[in-house]
Amino acid sequence: MDMLRTSSLVPLRKKQKVIQESHSLSKHEIKFSEVVLFIMERKMGRSRRTFLMDLGRRKGFRIENELRDSVTHVVAENNSCSEVLAWLQTKTLGDFSRLHLLNISWFTDCMEAGKPIKIENKHRLTQRPCCGSGPSPRPQQTNASAVVKISQYACQRRTTLQNYNGIFTDAFEILAENYEFNANKGPCLAFRRAASVLKSLPFTIVRMNDVQGLPCLGDEIKGVIEEIIEDGKSSKVVDVLNDEKYKSFKLLTSIFGVGLKTSEKWFEMGFQTLEYIKADKSLKLTKMQTAGLLYYEDLITPVSKAEAEAISLVVKDTVWTFLPDALVTLAGGFRRGKKMGHDVDLLITCPRPGEERKVLHNIIKQWKKQDLLIYYDIIESTLDEAELPSRRVDAFDHFQKSFAIFKLYKQRLDASISEEYQESDKMEAKNWKAIRIDLVIIPFDQYAYGLLGWTGSRQFERDLRRYANHEKRMMLDNHALYDKTKGIFLKAISEEDIFAHLGLEYLEPWERNA
- The catalytic residues are 343, 345, 438
Asked if 339 interacts with ligand DCT (CB under 6 A), we say: no
Asked if 233 interacts with ligand DCT (CB under 6 A), we say: no
From 274, 278, 334, select the one nearest 306 (Cα to Cα). Answer: 334
The one of Mg ion, ligand DCT, none whose footprint includes residue 256, by CB under 5 to 8 A per kind, is: none
Phi, psi (rounded to 5 degrees) for 354: 90, -20
Residues 6+ apart with CB under 8 A from 151: 157, 215
Asked if 181 interacts with ligand DCT (CB under 6 A), we say: no
Q: Residues 180, 345, 356, 397: which binds Mg ion (CB under 5 A)?
A: 345
Q: What residues between 316 and 335 interact with ligand DCT by CB under 6 A? A: 332-333
The one of Mg ion, ligand DCT, none whose footprint includes residue 396, by CB under 5 to 8 A per kind, is: ligand DCT
Asked if 447 interacts with ligand DCT (CB under 6 A), we say: no
Residue 496, Cβ neighbours under 10 Å: how many?
Answer: 11
Asked if 466 interacts with ligand DCT (CB under 6 A), we say: no
Residue 136, Cβ neighbours under 10 Å: how many?
Answer: 18
Residues 6+ apart with CB under 8 A from 120: none
For residue 375, the cross-strand partners are: 405
Stretch in the footprint of Mg ion (CB under 5 A) among 24-32, 98-106, 307-315, 343-351: 343-351
Shortest separation between residue 305's beta carbon and Mg ion, angstroms: 12
Cα 182 from Cα 144, distance rounded (Å): 35
From 382, 501, 490, 506, select the one nearest 455 (Cα to Cα). Answer: 506
Asked if 509 interacts with ligand DCT (CB under 6 A), we say: no
Shortest separation between residue 481's beta carbon and ligand DCT, angstroms: 15
- Report the length, in residues, of the chain: 514
Shortest separation between residue 336's beta carbon and ligand DCT, angstroms: 7
Q: What residues between 474 and 503 interact with ligand DCT by CB under 6 A? A: 478
**Nearer to ligand DCT by C-beta: 329 or 457?**
457
Cα 309 from Cα 316, distance rounded (Å): 10
Shortest separation between residue 357's beta carbon and ligand DCT, angstroms: 21
Question: Contacts with ligand DCT: how many residues (CB under 6 A)?
Answer: 16
Stretch in the footprint of Mg ion (CB under 5 A) among 102-110, 125-133, 143-151, 335-343: 335-343
Phi, psi (rounded to 5 degrees) for 126: -95, 170
Q: Residues 109, 298, 345, 495: which binds ligand DCT (CB under 6 A)?
A: 345
Asked if 307 interacts with Mg ion (CB under 5 A), we say: no
Asked if residue 132 lies in contact with residue 78, where contact means CB atoms within 8 angstroms, the answer is yes
Asked if 341 interacts with Mg ion (CB under 5 A), we say: yes
Shortest separation between residue 330's beta carbon and Mg ion, angstroms: 10
For the chain, how far is it from start to end, CA to CA, in angstroms?
A: 16
Residue 178, Cβ neighbours under 10 Å: how many?
Answer: 23
Cα 376 from Cα 402, distance rounded (Å): 6
Stretch in the footprint of ligand DCT (CB under 6 A) among 159-167, 179-187, 286-294, 336-344: 336-344
> For residues 261-297, b (16+ Cβ closer than 10 Å) or e, as one string?
ebbbebbeeebbeeeebeeeeeeebeebbebbbbbbe
Binding site for ligand DCT (CB under 6 A): 332-333, 338, 341-343, 345, 396-397, 453-454, 456-458, 461, 478
Site residues, Mg ion (CB under 5 A):
332-333, 341, 343, 345
